[in-house]
Amino acid sequence: MGRKMSRQIKIFDTTLRDGEQSPGCSMNLKEKLEVARQLEKLNVDVIEAGFAIASPGDFESVRQIAGVVRNATVASLSRALPKDIDTAYEAIRHAAHPRIHTFIATSDIHMRYKLKATEEEVLERAFNMVKYAKQYCHDIEFSAEDASRSRPEFLYRVLEAVIRAGATVVNIPDTVGYATPDEYAGLIRGIRENVPNIHRADISVHCHNDLGLGVANTLAALKAGANQVECTINGIGERAGNAALEEIVMAIQTRKDVFDMHTEIDTRQLYPSSRLLTKVTGVKVQSNKAIVGDNAFAHESGIHQHGMLAHSSTYEIMTPESVGLNMSKLVLGKHSGRHAFDDRMKQLGYDLPKERLDEVFAAFKMLADKKKSIYDKDLEALIDEQRSAGMETYHLTEFVINSGNTITSTATVKLMKEQETYEAVAKGYGPVDAAFKAIEIVVGQKVDLEDYALEAVTEGEDAQGEATVKLKVNERVYTGYGLSTDIVEASIKAYVNAINKMPQSAGFREERSAG
Ligand code: KIV
Ligand code: ZN
């Protein structure tokens, strides 16, 4: 007598497409590759790597992601147009498991105002474009954009046609986050009952969060028979975002009794994935965010703490460890040796190559001279800093700040580039502003400071400051990260880090040697 197997739900991650196209979340090629590698560790089934025709940069990142990802399917989005489909295929053709994801809107509102096309024209285009894509690869996903506001009878006809043309997955997006759980589950049931060939395709759901119902709608649709979910890490995405991957996965796992389903996600990679995305984009999650927020596993009130001490099940429905959050209070310090350090890194889930481990250990030793106790968060911050450093064009060598409430702040900053030292002095509204202006002079490039944030990594007077800046040049935003026990130094490092991510092209000063 075998045990009844629960139904597998496929996780289609669109952090690098729907997520990346949202404000403040853009990533460069190196960052996208890093996120894609982490998504493989997380063990998602499908990575939507981008929208290949959107720009040459998008094309290149989809192509390179397709080249490195081995286990997951790699998809590129494309409108239902031959040139989009050609480009999408060109970008994913070397993937181990390529998928073309093509879409067209099926709601009256979109067809009338955006496409200026009739139902019959949209039906024909959907059928023809899936057939067209099918000449390139077997795995074709079709999305009926704004499906939740489409006339169901028309939607059924479109789905029947695209499956006939070869679609292996049909996606039913709630594009504007308008649906409610009952309604959306009803739509999925309607599709299962009224599309005669629906058994030949997976049913996918894609919910936006405009009414805060993205995850609820997704879960309702799964119960109604959908078997693929489209979601993003931290719920990033257009407007209010997409349904959050970590919330869907943990709801299914924690409430197996209700859902009778499973995913193949390695849940211990949820927190590391969230953290990586936050560092790469500089977009933080709110502290009370489910699963990955700073307070998601914190018990503050006396009654709760008392309950937790008596038995963790009183107030804990899942363990922090199950999502990859290490709650151990072990601290390292000045006298901790290499062995203790390596051990701790392993326990935190970092599997770094020897040379990177050496670099982080050197940074750890320097920090230990300035800070009594080194917590896990300090180690994670050191790794983040080392990771974001990458190719350094400019490197901070020295800075001097003069500041006070009766004088104008001035900053002298020396940066090094290819063995040359460049120096500038500037005044500003405060020490950080003065330092940023001095850097601007050194690099000879006008930049707009879009965002600046400074946070303490841990508690305590000797805590490290973690600075994030977003700099805008020619409509592109570059995120920089810096870490130091001195907050001005952390800010300067973050600014320089963002500068280093920019193409060092025209506009950047070439000679300003201070010897
Ligand atoms: O929200 C949406 O409809 C989409 C589709 C392109 C899948 O992102
Ligand atoms: Zn979307």
Comparing 87-96, 189-198, 501-510, which segment has the lowest mean pLDDT?
A: 501-510
Q: Residue 162 has what pLDDT? A: 98
Calpha distance 117→346 (Å, rounded): 57
Comparing 52-56, 57-61, 303-307, 335-339, which segment has the lowest mean pLDDT?
A: 303-307
If you measure from the C-alpha of residue 398 to the centroid of ligand 2, how many angstroms do you get, rounded to a whole number?
A: 46
Q: Residue 5 has what pLDDT? A: 85
If you measure from the C-alpha of residue 213 to the centroid of ligand 2, how many angstroms do you get, rounded to a whole number?
A: 14
On the question of pLDDT at 515 being above 50, the answer is no
Percent of the chain predicted with pLDDT > 90: 80
Check if 12-281 and 395-506 are the same fold. no
Summarize the confidence of residues 89-115 as an average pLDDT: 98
On the question of pLDDT at 508 being above 70, the answer is no
Summarize the confidence of residues 288-297 as an average pLDDT: 94
Cβ–ligand 1 distance for 145 under 6 Å, the answer yes
On the question of pLDDT at 507 being above 50, the answer is no
| Candidate of 171, 187, 207 to mutate for ligand 1, largest count of ligand atoms within 8 Å of Cβ | 171
The pTM of the whole model exceeds 0.75: yes
Q: How many CA atoms lie within 13 A of 29 on its CB side?
A: 16
pLDDT in tens, 447-476: 999 999 999 988 888 899 999 999 999 888
Q: Residue 313 has what pLDDT? A: 87
Calpha distance 234→19 (Å, rounded): 9
pLDDT in tens, 372-382: 889 888 998 89
Comparing 88-97, 369-378, 431-440, 489-498, which segment has the lowest mean pLDDT?
A: 369-378
**Range of 113-122, 290-299, 362-371, 481-490 with top mean pLDDT:** 113-122
| Domain definitions of the chain by residue range | 12-281, 328-389, 395-506
On the question of pLDDT at 356 being above 50, the answer is yes
Q: What band does 312 get if pLDDT is binned at 50, 70 and 90? A: confident
Q: What band does 2 get if pLDDT is binned at 50, 70 and 90? A: very low
Q: What band does 391 get if pLDDT is binned at 50, 70 and 90? A: low
pLDDT in tens, 32-56: 999 999 999 999 999 999 999 999 9
Shortest-distance Cα residue to atom 2 of ligand 1? 175
Summarize the confidence of residues 502-514 as an average pLDDT: 53
Q: What band does 236 get if pLDDT is binned at 50, 70 and 90? A: very high
- What's the chain's average pLDDT? 93
Percent of the chain predicted with pLDDT > 70: 96
Q: What band does 1 get if pLDDT is binned at 50, 70 and 90? A: very low
Calpha distance 290→304 (Å, rounded): 18
| The CATH number of domain 395-506 is 3.30.160.270 | yes
Strands 202-207 and 169-174: what pairing?
parallel
**Who's near 475: CB < 8 A, 6+ residues apart?**
none
Task: Dig out the tokens for 189 from the structure.
Answer: 């049931």
Cβ–ligand 1 distance for 148 under 6 Å, the answer no
In 3D, which of 477, 108, 431 has the Cα closest to residue 282?
A: 477
Which residue carries 């869907």 as its tokens? 248
pLDDT in tens, 120-176: 999 999 999 999 999 999 999 999 999 999 999 999 999 999 999 999 999 999 999
Cβ–ligand 1 distance for 103 under 6 Å, the answer yes
Q: Which atom of ligand 1 is least distant from the CA of 18?
A: 8
Shortest-distance Cα residue to atom 5 of ligand 1? 145
Q: Residue 389 has what pLDDT? A: 72
Q: Residue 4 has what pLDDT? A: 67
If you measure from the C-alpha of residue 377 to the centroid of ligand 2, how many angstroms do you get, rounded to a whole number?
A: 33
Q: Residue 509 has what pLDDT? A: 56
Cβ atoms of 260 and 284 within 8 Å: the answer is no
Long-range interactions of 125-130: CB distance < 8 A, separation 24+: 125/80, 126/80, 126/158, 126/161, 126/162, 126/165, 127/161, 127/162, 127/164, 127/165, 128/165, 129/80, 129/81, 129/82, 129/85, 129/102, 129/104, 130/102, 130/162, 130/165, 130/166, 130/167
Shortest-distance Cα residue to atom 8 of ligand 1? 18
pLDDT in tens, 321-338: 999 998 777 789 888 989
**Who's near 161: CB < 8 A, 6+ residues apart?**
123, 126, 127
CATH of 12-281, picked from 3.30.470.20, 3.40.50.300, 3.40.50.2300, 3.20.20.70, is 3.20.20.70
